């Protein structure tokens, strides 16, 4: 009897010790960690507990975790952040990007490419943001943030619609008030597709930014005569404001950053970067050309942030998705660590959400695991010119708030009997 009691006690102690020893819920083991904020670019283990980063070290004991996932030979990084997407999907036949058919449901196009946070770029305005929050933000697993459109109706109708061309729709006070009320979700203001040769839309967007103490993102519309990028960069935008569609093509209504005759960056572009203007990709269906990107990147002008401009007109063409755009910049000789930084920590800083984009202890456990495939890959631009590359990024696993939400090869699952 005494012997049985001793054995039972020893067994209970052993079980209790084993449970206590499993400090972590999930351990990602053997991956090459790239974390720009913390200056890490080497093989490290990452442990998760209660949806947070609990440990980062070269060799964490696998016995300390309930679940161990071997990611040897893969790259691990903070969850990717796409700061320019269009996800106000809806059924309004006139809505286009605002509650219409040109926008896409976030969860269908994020986790499968490693994106854990997407910023809707101006679909909703002050009058429609509440509907966007109810229908999209509150219903999505993906973390959805937003740039609020300076037009109170948002990106409603086609780009020449009344709502996007009529100055009476641009109310900076109303926009700032809505941004303050929904500060958890709104990260700044968007001006886009304004086609008059004046600065009203930009000026009122900047005013909203000043009132709410938030950045603006500029999709420079297009007008005849053209408006000056030099004036936009050096006199209108503020340090910390974002210029998207950086590598867009030269058309009669828009200027470019590279002089196509000399193949040189315009001096005001370099000066703008020194001023603190943030240059974003915003690839989209019509806003990325190698005729701009190749000479710009050869001169060292890589983007601070890499984004997609995701919508129905870009997802099946040259853009495809976040990883394809990132891979495109690998083909342009942007170092892998910088490509990842532009899609994580730099993106988090640009939208002033510095709780994201890194894997510091205690940080939100948004994690992306990627394969870096080697071979011969082709990438084309919106003008339908191709550039070949040697690498292609592929999403192996996505973790949001500590939970696996996408697993390409079932690495997180036990083997079947």
Tens digit of pLDDT for each residue in 79-119? 999 999 999 999 998 888 999 999 999 999 999 999 999 99
Report pLDDT for 8.
43
Q: Which has more confidence, 163 or 140?
A: 140
Per DSSP, 134 falls in state H
Whether the model pTM is above 0.75 = yes
Q: Are 284 and 308 in contact (CB under 8 A)?
A: yes
Counting every residue written for the chain, the total comes to 417
Mean pLDDT of the chain, nearest integer: 94
State how far the Cα of 75 lies from the Cα of 105, in Å rounded to an integer.
27
**Distance from first CA to last CA of the chain, Å, rounded?**
39
Report pLDDT for 17.
41
Report pLDDT for 30.
98
CATH architecture for residues 78-350: Alpha-Beta Barrel (3.20)
Q: Is the pLDDT of residue 10 over 50?
A: no
What's the whole-number mean pLDDT along residues 378-407?
A: 98
Distances (CA, A) of 415 to 109, 237, 370, 411, 412: 28, 55, 22, 9, 10
State how far the Cα of 143 lies from the Cα of 96, in Å rounded to an integer.
22
Q: Is the pLDDT of residue 289 over 50?
A: yes
- Token readout for 362 is 């205690």
Q: Are 204 and 150 in contact (CB under 8 A)?
A: yes
Neighbouring CB atoms inside 10 A of 21's CB total 11
Report pLDDT for 163.
75
Helix (H) or strand (E) holding 298: helix 290-298
Neighbouring CB atoms inside 10 A of 289's CB total 20
Q: Are 96 and 158 in contact (CB under 8 A)?
A: yes
Query: Which tens digit of pLDDT belongs to each residue from 183-216?
Result: 999 999 999 988 888 999 999 999 999 999 999 9
């Amino acid at each position: 009897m005494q012997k049985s009691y001793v054995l039972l006690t020893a067994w209970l102690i052993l079980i209790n010790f084993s449970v206590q020893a499993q400090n972590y819920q999930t351990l990602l083991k053997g991956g090459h960690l790239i974390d720009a904020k913390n200056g890490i670019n080497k093989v490290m283990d990452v442990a998760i507990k209660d949806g947070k980063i609990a440990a980062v070290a070269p060799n964490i004991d696998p016995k300390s975790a309930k679940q161990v996932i071997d990611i040897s030979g893969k790259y691990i990084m903070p969850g990717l952040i796409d700061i320019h997407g269009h996800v106000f999907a809806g059924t309004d036949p006139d809505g286009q990007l605002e509650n219409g058919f040109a926008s896409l449901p976030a969860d269908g196009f994020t986790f499968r490419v490693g994106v854990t946070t997407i910023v809707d770029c101006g679909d909703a305005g002050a009058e429609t943001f509440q509907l966007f929050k109810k229908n999209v933000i509150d219903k999505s697993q993906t973390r959805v943030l937003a740039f609020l459109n300076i037009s109170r109706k948002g990106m409603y109708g086609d780009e020449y619609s009344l709502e996007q061309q009529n100055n009476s729709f641009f109310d900076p006070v109303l926009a700032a008030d809505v941004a303050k009320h929904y500060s958890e979700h709104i990260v700044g203001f968007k001006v886009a597709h304004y086609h008059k040769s004046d600065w009203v839309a930009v000026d009122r967007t900047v005013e909203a930014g000043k009132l709410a103490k938030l950045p603006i993102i500029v999709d420079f519309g297009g007008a005849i005569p053209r408006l000056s990028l030099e004036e936009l960069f050096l006199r209108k935008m503020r340090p910390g404001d974002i210029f998207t569609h950086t590598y867009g093509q030269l058309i009669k209504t828009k200027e470019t950053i590279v002089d196509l005759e000399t193949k040189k960056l315009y001096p005001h572009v370099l000066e703008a970067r020194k001023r603190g203007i943030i240059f974003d990709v915003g690839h989209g269906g019509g806003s990325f050309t190698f005729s701009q990107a190749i000479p710009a990147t050869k001169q060292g002008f890589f983007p601070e942030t890499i984004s997609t401009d995701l919508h129905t007109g870009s997802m099946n063409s040259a853009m495809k998705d976040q990883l394809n755009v990132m891979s495109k910049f690998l083909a342009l000789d942007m170092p892998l660590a910088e490509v990842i930084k532009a899609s994580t920590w730099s993106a988090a800083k640009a939208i002033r959400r510095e709780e994201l984009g890194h894997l510091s202890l205690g940080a939100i456990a948004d994690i992306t695991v990627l394969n870096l495939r080697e071979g011969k890959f082709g990438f084309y631009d919106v003008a339908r010119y191709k550039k070949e590359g040697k690498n292609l990024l592929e999403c192996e696993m996505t973790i949001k708030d500590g939970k696996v939400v996408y697993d390409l090869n079932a690495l997180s699952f036990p083997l079947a009997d």
